[in-house]
Amino acid sequence: MTTLQQLEHWKQAGIIDDSQCRTLSALVRKERFSLFLELNGLLYLGVLSLAGGLGWTFRSHFERLGDVLILAVLSILLVVSLYYCWSRSARYSNQEVESSNFVVDYVLYLACLLLSIELGYFEVRFGWLGDAWDSYLLFSSVVFFVLAYRFDNRFVLSLALSSLAGWFGLTLSKVGFESSAPLRVSALVYAFITALAGAFLYRQGIKKHFLEIYLHIAANVTFLALVSGLSGDNELLFLAALLLVSAASAVLGVRFQRFAFVVYGIVFGYAGISFEVLQGMKDTGVLAYFVVTGIAVILLIVFLARRFGRED
């Protein structure tokens, strides 16, 4: 039996689905296949490495290069990058806009990193804002939001929301919220505001496809905040909230065909239950628990992934 015949047999037996069979068959026949995701990741990593290399060079040799030269180079690169993006991209639209030039996405990402490096250099070298240095995060977040919507870039939107989260946490810590409990509450407030903002913009018809980014970040922040609360004084309260949110995430993920949210619900719910079950359990019991339940969770995720694949 040839490899192609074996793949067909596996498909008929239900071991693999049609799309998996086609992909594997193409590999066996040595046909061309897409490397878009891999190349996309490598290009983003290359841009990040370039920005990191510039930051390291300027930090290590700022005395010899001088502040004027460093800031001039960063500013020129930033302006050129933004000009390139503006001159090569389509006009703004509230609807999703396909990029006519894939290089724009990487240049835009580079511009965001350059802005971050330049703002950081300003504060480290001159300390203009002093104790209010976290305002740079707020400024960066606003700029990233504008760029994300102008150029329809989900990655830059993630940078904007991450910068806003950093500013949000640092601002609260400065007014006395230094313990884990208030910061946990602030994380939940941030997640609620993020989800609310995404839903509001969705209802207004402004870049409706961005809603999922808002929900991904809000969901992860919510789950992490609830999981961190399992080690506090209100352990059972946080466990109940975690299980409730996990169930809601899984159910809504199935309903709206968003597999990532199903995985969030399963994984974080499993983490919460495991935290409670493993307290006081002996080492041999811990190993047996993880072997049995871990396999069960993995099989459940695989089953749901195949179900989602068939429905798509």
Burial of 223 (0-12, 13-18, 19+ CB in 10 A): buried
Residue 17 lies in a domain: no
DSSP conformation letters of 268-299: HHHHHHHHHHTTT--HHHHHHHHHHHHHHHHH
Residue 1 lies in a domain: no
Residue 30 lies in a domain: no
Q: 239 and 268 in contact (C-beta within 8 Å)?
A: no
Nearest-angstrom CA–CA distance, 209 and 147? 16
User: Which is it for the CA torsion 56, 121, 111, 205, positive or negative?
Assistant: positive
Residue 172 lies in a domain: no
Q: What is the pLDDT of residues 245-264, one digit of tens each?
A: 999 999 999 888 888 899 99
Nearest-angstrom CA–CA distance, 267 and 259? 12
Task: Kindly state whether residues 194 and 306 are assigned to the same domain.
Answer: yes
Task: Kindly state whether residues 192 and 302 are assigned to the same domain.
Answer: yes
The pLDDT score that the predictor gives to residue 149 is 94
Task: Kindly state whether residues 294 and 186 are assigned to the same domain.
Answer: yes
Across all residues in the chain, what is the average pLDDT?
79
Task: Kindly state whether residues 124 and 43 are assigned to the same domain.
Answer: yes
Q: Which of 153, 187, 214 is the last residue of a domain?
A: 153
Task: Give how many domains the chain has, as a whole number.
Answer: 2
Structural element, H or E, at residue 121: helix 103-126
3-state per-residue secondary structure call for 37-59 = HHHHHHHHHHHHHHHHHHHHHHH
Task: Kindly state whether residues 286 and 229 are assigned to the same domain.
Answer: yes
> Which carries the bigger pLDDT value, residue 269 or residue 122?
269
pTM score: 0.75
Q: What is the pLDDT of residues 138-171, one digit of tens each?
A: 889 999 999 999 999 888 999 899 888 888 765 5
By C-alpha distance, which of 171, 173, 268 is closest to 224?
268
Q: What is the pLDDT of residues 53-85, one digit of tens each?
A: 766 776 676 667 777 888 888 899 899 999 999
Task: Kindly state whether residues 210 and 123 are assigned to the same domain.
Answer: no
Q: Which of 113, 136, 153 is the last residue of a domain?
A: 153
* Count of CB atoms situated within 10 Å of the CB of 141: 20
Q: What is the pLDDT of residues 190-246, one digit of tens each?
A: 899 999 999 999 999 999 999 999 999 999 999 988 888 887 677 888 899 999 999
Task: Kindly state whether residues 191 and 284 are assigned to the same domain.
Answer: yes
Task: Kindly state whether residues 193 and 234 are assigned to the same domain.
Answer: yes
The pLDDT score that the predictor gives to residue 228 is 83
Task: Kindly state whether residues 184 and 129 are assigned to the same domain.
Answer: no
Residue 214 lies in a domain: yes
Nearest-angstrom CA–CA distance, 301 and 270? 12
Task: Kindly state whether residues 305 and 205 are assigned to the same domain.
Answer: yes
Which range, 55-64, 117-126, 157-166, 292-301, is most confident? 157-166
> pLDDT-derived band of residue 175, with 50, 70 and 90 as boundaries?
very low
The whole domain housing 104 covers: 36-153
For the packed helices 211-228 and 235-255, what is the interaxial angle rounded to 10 degrees?
150
Interval 27-46 mean pLDDT: 53
By C-alpha distance, which of 6, 3, 1, 51 is closest to 27?
3
Residue 19 lies in a domain: no
Buried-exposed string 105-132: b where 16+ CB fall within 10 A, e elsewhere: bbbbbbbbbbbbbbbbbbbeeeeeeeee
